[in-house]
């Protein structure tokens, strides 16, 4: 999908597939390998330059989508990487593990449900044990279910969305902070929905606004420890979250069409900002929410 030389000058409007896309319903959580077209996570394009040499990273939702692209980039920049994912996503996760190992780095697979507080805390402890420490925490896993009306959102769905997107972030960062040295980085994943909420993603959008506020507040707390905290706010990205219930199939067909660039972003296109925020090149960046939206105003 991507050009052989990822650094050659290209028209961003034509760099990746544009809608219309075929309908492709999947049961949640879904598998990236079943998407048409299959997302580009940087498997064939991302080139590292040692910017994260010797670092140790934990990435939630690391099996597919943005988390997978970040895991690939981090490994190729020199980091050892632990990924978390749901047990149903094992097929995608094992592909990521191989890609990390192919980059010459240590890979740790830790399946489990982030809605469970005890598991979230165990996730951090196991990462520290397996990698020998923790320098980078990327909170990326998310739950997104479209509903046309607020009346269609059950208390169960509302609770699961908040536990996956917000509670897990709180539990994991709380457990991770005692292990993080000065110079460490926490990176959360918010969304354009934090500022431009989709009417069909009411509960999801609410959690993404909460994540942005949590990030900004936590950055203020941890600055005195030399720990930086930032958030990335994606626009429409072509990930398995969309066809597996995150959008209607009608919206999947036209996904990303309403951006100025006329297409959805690919995970490979957002991974570099996660690298920047984790690296020493981002040493003066904390408390920020950085939009990557294909031109949609944030």
pLDDT above 90: residue 3: no
Give the separation between CA 98 and CA 77, rounded to whole angstroms: 16
CB 33 within 8 A of CB 92: yes
- Which residues, listed in sequence order, are joined to residue 60 by a DSSP beta bridge? 84
Report the top-level CATH class of 50-292.
Answer: alpha beta
Cα–Cα–Cα angle for 258, 259, 260, rounded to 5 degrees: 120
237 DSSP assignment: B
pLDDT above 70: residue 2: no
> What is this structure's pTM?
0.96
Q: How confident is the model over 265-280, as pLDDT tens digits?
A: 999 999 999 999 999 9
Task: Respond yes or no: is residue 74 known to be catalytic.
Answer: no
Q: For the chain, how many residues are written? A: 298
Q: What percent of the chain lies above the pLDDT cut of 90?
A: 94
pLDDT above 90: residue 294: yes
Give the separation between CA 291 and CA 233, rounded to whole angstroms: 4
Q: Where are the domains of the chain?
A: 50-292
Mean pLDDT estimate for the chain: 96
Q: How confident is the model over 47-66, as pLDDT tens digits?
A: 999 999 999 999 999 999 99
Catalytic residue among 16, 204, 274, 290: 204
Give the separation between CA 239 and CA 245, rounded to whole angstroms: 12
Confidence of residue 6 (pLDDT cuts 50, 70, 90): confident
């Amino acid at each position: 999908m991507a050009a052989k030389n990822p650094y050659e000058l290209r028209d961003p409007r034509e760099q990746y597939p544009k809608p219309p896309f075929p309908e492709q319903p999947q049961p949640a959580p879904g598998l990236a390998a079943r998407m048409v077209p299959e997302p580009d996570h940087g498997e064939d394009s991302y080139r590292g330059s040692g910017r994260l040499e010797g670092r140790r990273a934990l990435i939630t939702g690391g099996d597919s989508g943005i988390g997978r692209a970040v895991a690939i980039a981090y490994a190729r920049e020199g980091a050892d990487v632990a990924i978390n994912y749901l047990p149903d996503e094992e097929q995608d996760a094992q592909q990521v593990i191989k890609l990390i190992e192919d980059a010459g780095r240590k890979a740790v697979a830790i399946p489990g449900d982030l809605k469970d507080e005890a598991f979230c805390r165990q996730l951090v402890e196991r990462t520290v044990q397996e990698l020998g420490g923790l320098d980078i925490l990327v909170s990326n896993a998310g739950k997104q279910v479209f509903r046309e009306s607020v009346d269609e959102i059950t208390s169960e769905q509302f609770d699961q969305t908040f536990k996956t997107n917000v509670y897990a972030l709180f539990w994991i960062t709380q457990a991770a902070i005692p292990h993080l040295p000065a110079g460490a980085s926490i990176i959360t994943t918010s969304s354009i929905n934090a500022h431009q909420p989709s009417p069909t993603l009411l509960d999801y959008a609410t959690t993404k606004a909460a994540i942005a506020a949590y990030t900004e507040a936590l950055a203020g707390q941890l600055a005195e420890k030399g720990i930086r905290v930032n958030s990335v706010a994606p626009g429409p990205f072509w990930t398995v979250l969309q066809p597996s219930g995150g959008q209607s199939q009608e919206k999947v067909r036209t996904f990303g069409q309403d951006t100025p660039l006329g297409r959805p972003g690919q995970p490979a296109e957002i991974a570099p900002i996660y690298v920047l925020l984790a690296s020493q090149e981002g040493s003066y960046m904390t408390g920020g929410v950085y939009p990557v939206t294909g031109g949609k105003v944030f």
